[in-house]
A and B are shown apart, each in its own frame.
Chain A
Amino acid sequence: MVEPAYTVTSDSETTGEEKSSTFPEIAIGIDIGTSQCSVAVWNGSQVELLKNTRNQKIMKSYVTFKDNIPSGGVSSQLSHEDEMLSGATIFNMKRLIGRVDTDPVVHACKNLPFLVQTLDIGVRPFIAALVNNMWRSTTPEEVLAIFLVELRAMAEAQLKRRIRNVVLTVPVSFSRFQLTRIERACAMAGLHVLRLMPEPTAVALLYGQQQQQTSHENMGSGTEKIALIFSMGAGYCDVAVTATAGGVSQIKALAGSTIGGEDLLQNMMHHLLPNSENLFKNHGVKEIKQMGLLRVATQDAIRQLSSQTIVQVDVDLGDGLKICKAVNREEFEEVNRKVFEKCESLIIQCLQDAKVEVEEVNDVIIVGGCSYIPRVKNLVTNVCKGKELYKGMNPLEAAVCGAAVEGAIASGVNDPFGNLDLLTIQATPLAIGIRADGNKFVPVIPRDTTMPARKELVFTTTHDNQTEALILVYEGEGEKAEENHLLGYFKIMGIPAAPKGVPEINVCMDIDAANVLRVLAGVVMPGSRQPAIPVMEVRMPTVDDGHGWCAEALNRTYGATLDLVTLQKKA
C-alpha cells in the first residue's frame, strides 16, 4: 500500500524551538466545529478572520482521502456535496474524538458514509475511509491533525509568519481526556495550545470586550451585566451565564450536552426512511451512495424549513427506493422534540446553577449554526420570558473571535486603547471527584467552581485493618461512578492498621491557572499532626486509552476491597 504523501510533525518539534522573531508571537484563535471551522487573529486593533485561497472565512470540517493524498476542507474543494458522502471523506471528527465504542454518539456515527465499527467493550472505535475500493483505517486525532496542518498553512500564508501558538474553542461537555486528545492532534500538527476555551466562554470574552468598548467604564467598576449565552452547532449545545463589568467577565455557570444539528439531521433522516439503519448496515458501495443521497436531501429540507414552513422532499435512492414527501416545520419540530427539550433544560439548569433569575438577565446571546433554526430561537426566547436577543454578534464568528482575543491576551499583547484589558474568570464545566460510599461518585471539586481551584474532602476506610485504598478519579455529573469519565487512578498503600473508620484519608484536588489537574492524597491518624505515609501527588488524566474498559476491569479486579467512604465531620 502506498504511504500517504503528507508528513505529520512529531511531538519533539514542539519543544526547544529557536525563537527568531523579535515581535511577540501572537496566538491565533481556531474554532473547529463539528461541521464548520474558522480562524481569526488580533491584527493590532481588532479581530480579523482569515480566509483561504477561495476567499472563504468559514470552511467545512472534513478530510478526504481520495487519490491517496488526504486533504482537508481548508484547501480542497469537493466537486459536489455528494463527494463528501462517498466514504472517502471523514467528517464529524470533533464528535468522535476521545470517545469509546460504547458511547451512543459513536454509534450514531455508524450511519455516516465512512466506516465506524465498534466492539462495545469500552475501547476506541475503528474508523476507516474508502480509498480506491479499499477501507483505510485512521483515527480522529489523525484526521484532526491533517486538518490543522492545512489551517496552519493557510494562516502562515496569509499572515506571512510562522504560527505556533493557538487558542482553540472546545465544547463545554468535553472531558479532560477529550481535551488531551485535542492537544495531541495539535501537537501532531506542530501547534502549541495556549488555551482550550469552552465555546460560550470565548463568546463571553468577546461580549466583555464589546461592553468595554461601548461604555468606556472605569476599571473594576460600573454597571454589571448578566448575559445568557446559548451556543448550538452541528455537534454540541452549550450554555453559560456570565456577569460582566469593567472588562472582567465571571463565568457563573456552564452547561453542555452532545446534541446539535447532527441529531436533528439523523432524526429527520430516520423519519423520512424509518428502516434506514438496517438498509445501510452492510456499508457497501451502493448503500453508501444511498446514505449520501438521503443525507443531502434531508439537509436541504432542514435548511429550507428555517425560512419556509413546508418543503417537498423528492429523492430517488435507486433500487426502486423513492422518497416523495411534503414535510412541514411542525413535523420537523415534533420529530426532534426531545432534542429541543434537552436544549431548554440546559438553559434552565444553567440559570439555576448560576443562581440567576431570568429577569436579571440583561442580554441573551445565541450563537452557532443552529441559532438560525426558528424553534431554537423560540425556545431560548421563551425561557427568557420573551426578552429580545442580543444583536451585536455574528453567530458563526463569535466563538472564533473570542478565541482570537484570548490568543492576543495570552500572548502578552498590549493594546494602547485598552481593548485587551480583559479578564475571564473561568469555571469548571464538570465536577471532579472520586469513587466512594459504595460506587457513588463523590465530587471534590463541584461543577461551576471558579478556577484556579483547590478543594479537599476527607475519607476513611471501609474494612477493619484495611491498609490500601484505591483512588479512582472521575469527571462528570452522574451519581454512580461509572456514569462519568474515568480520568485516572492510583493506590494509597501503607495505611496503618486500625479499625475501619479511624484513618483519615485526605483527598485534595488542585486545578492550576493552566487548567492542569492534580490529585493529592495523604493519610493522617487521629491525634497526629504528621502524615502517616508519604503524600501522593498525581497529575490527571493518567488513563491514556481504553478508559471505558479500564473502569470495568478495575471493578472486576478489586471489587470493594479497597473502597473508601466519606468521613462524616464531627462538630
Chain B
Amino acid sequence: MISSVSFLSLPFVNFFDNAMASSSCCVKSWPIVAFATAEARSSWMEQPRPSYLNSSCSSPYDILGIPVGASNQEIKAAYRRLARVCQTDVAAIDRKNLSADEFMKIHAAYSTLSDPNMCANYDWSLFWRQQQ
C-alpha cells in the first residue's frame, strides 16, 4: 500500500504551480496525453516514481520542454538550460526554496529520461496510452 501522506508534496509545490504559470521560465507546453490514476501508472514502472510527479500531470518531456522521443543530447541540453535558470547560486533568498523545489522536479524528469530502462518503460507506457 502506498502511503497517502507524503512529505515530498510540501506546500511550496502548490505555490510553485501558481508561480510557474506566470513565470518567464515556464516550460513550453506540448500536447499532454491524459493519464489514469497513480496506481495504474505504477504497474508499468519497474521502480516507484517520486509521488510529486504524480501530483501534477506534467510528463518528464513537458517538464524539460522537449518533444517526446528527444535524443540524449537534447535531453541533456534542456536539463542544463533549465538548471541554469532555476538553480542559480545567486537566487534571491525568497526564491531559494522555490528554486530548490523547481530544480528537484527538473532533475527528476532528467533522471527518468536519461536512464535507458526508465525511459524505455516511460515511452512504452506513453505509446500504450495513446492506443486507447
Contacts and interface: CB of A to CB of B under 8 A. Distances in A.
Interface of A: 219-221, 224, 245-248, 250, 406, 409-412, 421, 423-425, 450, 452-456, 458, 504, 506, 508, 510, 512-514, 520, 522, 524, 526, 528-531, 535, 569-570
B81 A524 contact: no
A529 B6 CA distance: 10
Interface of B: 1-8, 10, 48, 73, 76-78, 80-81, 83-84, 87-91, 96-97, 99-100, 103-104, 107
Which of B5, B83, B88 has the most chain A CB within a 10 Å cutoff? B5
B90 A410 contact: yes
8 contacts: A245-B77, A412-B90, A421-B84, A425-B83, A512-B96, A513-B87, A522-B7, A524-B4
A224 B76 CA distance: 9
B1 A221 contact: no
B7 to A, nearest CB: 4
Given A524-B3, A524-B4, A409 B89 contact: yes
B89 A406 contact: yes
A250 B88 CA distance: 13
Contacts of A220: 77-78, 80-81, 84
A528 B87 contact: no
A33 B55 CA distance: 46
A423 B87 contact: yes
Nearest to B98: A513
Given A220-B81, A522-B5, A425 B87 contact: yes
B109 to A, nearest CB: 12
Contact of B48 (A452, A529, A530, A569): A569
B7 A508 contact: yes
Contacts of B5: 506, 522, 524, 529-531
Given A455-B8, A456-B6, A512-B100, 13 more contacts: A220-B77, A245-B77, A250-B83, A409-B90, A410-B90, A424-B89, A452-B100, A453-B104, A454-B8, A504-B3, A512-B96, A513-B97, A524-B5
Contact of A452 (B2, B4, B78, B103): B103
A512 B97 contact: yes
A535 B11 CA distance: 14
A245 B83 contact: no
Nearest to A423: B84
Contacts of A453: 104
A58 to B, nearest CB: 27
Contact of A570 (B1, B77, B87, B96): B1
Contacts of A504: 1, 3
A528 to B, nearest CB: 7
A449 to B, nearest CB: 9
B99 to A, nearest CB: 6
B35 to A, nearest CB: 19
Which of A412, A452, A504, A526 has the most chain B CB within a 10 Å cutoff? A452
B84 to A, nearest CB: 5
A508 B4 contact: no
B42 to A, nearest CB: 9
Contacts of A245: 76-77, 80
A509 to B, nearest CB: 9
A220 B91 CA distance: 19
A513 B7 contact: no
A473 B88 CA distance: 30
B30 to A, nearest CB: 19
Contacts of A250: 80, 83
Contacts of A456: 6-8
A452 B104 contact: yes
B77 A221 contact: yes
B8 A246 contact: no
A513 B96 contact: yes
Nearest to A412: B90
Nearest to A508: B7
A535 B88 CA distance: 31
Contacts of A221: 77, 80-81
Nearest to B84: A423
Contacts of A458: 3
Given A504-B3, A506-B6, A522-B7, A219 B84 contact: yes
A411 B3 CA distance: 42
A423 B88 contact: yes
Nearest to A528: B4
Nearest to A452: B100
A35 B78 CA distance: 42
A454 B84 contact: no
Contacts of A570: 1
Contacts of B91: 513
A368 to B, nearest CB: 25
Nearest to B108: A450
A423 B4 contact: no
B107 A450 contact: yes
A524 B1 CA distance: 12
A287 B80 CA distance: 58
Contacts of B89: 406, 409-410, 423-424
B13 to A, nearest CB: 10
